[in-house]
Amino acid sequence: MSSNYVKRFGGRWVSLVSHRPFSTSSSIQKDPSHQSFKSLNLFSAINQALHIALESDPRAYVFGEDVSFGGVFRCTTGLADRFGKSRVFNTPLCEQGIIGFGIGLAAMGNRAIAEIQFADYIYPAFDQIVNEAAKFRYRSGNQFNCGGLTIRAPYGAVGHGGHYHSQSPEAFFCHVPGIKVVIPRSPRQAKGLLLSCIRDPNPIVFFEPKWLYRLAVEEVPHDEYMLPLSEAEVIRQGSDITLVGWGAQLSIMEQACLDAEKEGISCELIDLKTLIPWDKETVEASVKKTGRLLISHEAPVTGGFGAEISASIVERCFSRLEAPVARVCGLDTPFPLVFEPFYMPNKNKILNAIKSTVDY
């Protein structure tokens, strides 16, 4: 994608084996509750995390289409000026080449942070991610790995993106053993989760909800911190129904929870955060308490990751369920432009599903 896209859309937004030890997602550094905070939007929090990653590790590199001047969404602004064009650099418009290069860079013991300009264009790199990065460690019997690879990609609805700039492809990668899939819901989550991904010993696909780049604002710890991967978070306690989602959908679901509360329905809301490997235990414990489950995501309903959650919970909680598992998702169509409001799983659709499930 060329820089011309910025002009059209920008104004619309108010030795081969490394013996170096990798820090794991469980090593949480610098408790954020004891830090100073600053109000940041999501893209600024991502930018801050990338600054920290490059500052703290001289073997970290950021690369992708147009990243040297900041990228379409300005997430990499200032990085090339601060760290030089040998560590933050543009690549050809070739997603397969970007990820292939990142795999090699990571295999040599570096932190490769690759940006795919839009998640919709990650498909040309699908073979490199699925058949190379995900299997690198397994096929070599753990003699080699590309665990230092993090793939960043803006995903999901943007309000005017249509079928080439609004897709949610997370379910494709959740089917692949050997990689992790992480999606933050807010600026504070984005910074801490991205730093954990960069330092995790496995290749990770990190999807960033582009809708929230400038809309989501939160108090974010100024210094370095990491949030654990594969740990869901109960962000709202409830007793009548469990809601599970990720990314930008969490704010929509929370609005539905508030409206449901006015009608006497108590909703428990869970942010999955890491889709693979996902936190079954937290969701299971919640559903055993409430007896009901609703899952919502922007991706089409058929084959979406909500289906995996539904199947797993039915297997684990069948005797406790008081209603069928509900899914409020995108439609089984290409992502539309003028009909986006009909496609999206909005607050009213979720509220109706909550009431139907509770009244079952």
Residue 149 tokens, joined:
């690879």
Q: What is the pLDDT of residues 123-142, one digit of tens each?
A: 999 999 999 999 999 999 99
Output the CA angle 309-313-318, nearest 5 degrees: 150
What Cα–Cα distance (Å) separates residue 39 from each residue in 42, 48, 216? 10, 12, 10
Contact 255, 303 (CB under 8 A): no
CATH fold, domain 22-221, is: Rossmann fold (3.40.50)
**Res 32: pLDDT:** 59
Please state which CATH class domain 233-358 belongs to.
alpha beta
Q: What is the pLDDT of residues 31-74, one digit of tens each?
A: 556 779 999 999 999 999 999 999 999 999 999 999 999 999 99
For the beta sheet containing 180-182, the strands, ordered from the edge strand earlier in sequence to the opposite edge, are 88-90, 60-64, 111-115, 149-155, 204-209, 180-182, 274-276
Topology agreement, domain 22-221 and domain 233-358: yes
Cα separation, 229 vs 275, in Å, equals: 9
Q: Residue ranges of the domains in the chain?
A: 22-221, 233-358
In this prediction the pTM is: 0.91
Residue 72 tokens, joined:
């379409």
**Res 122: pLDDT:** 98
| Biggest alpha carbon–alpha carbon distance for the chain | 64
List residues with catalytic annotation.
95, 165
